[in-house]
Amino acid sequence: MRTTRAALPSILDRRGAIVNVSSGNARTPTGSPVGYAEAKAALTVFGKRLSEELAPRGVRVNTVSPGVVAGPLWTDPDGFGGKVAAASGLGHGDLLAGLPGRMGIASGRLTEPAEVADLVVFLLSDRAADIHGADHVVDGGTLKTV
């Protein structure tokens, strides 16, 4: 939030766009350390409120909320995924293979980092000129609410 506020004069001058990256945990705060989901929920609300303030001034603000992403957090055997595997008594590969089923990911796979990045790029582009204050979930169908 502080970074956004610091960059705001330049963004306003250029009538730019802001995309915050939140998390699906902002809506379903389970399975994450205490504080993570709460911080992401605050970021999502910040984006919504900021969009209302800045839209009349020509600046778009949106949020992207990824689910489980196949990035180093999960794929690095020494990272969080490796620690979860060890704590669960599973091999790291077995944990990764079973995550979609255990997490209820409808697509049956983890989200690729490029899929999240592509959505951010689109939201920053002129093709998204009338998208304001939206929270875009990219989670393979994990979130089961409307």
Name the residues annotated as catalytic: 36
CA–CA gap between residue 61 and residue 88 (Å, rounded)? 39
Q: Characterise 23 by phi-psi region: left (phi > 0), alpha (psi -120 to 50), beta (else).
A: beta
Quickly tell me which residue has 């089961």 as its tokens. 144
CA–CA gap between residue 138 and residue 19 (Å, rounded)? 14
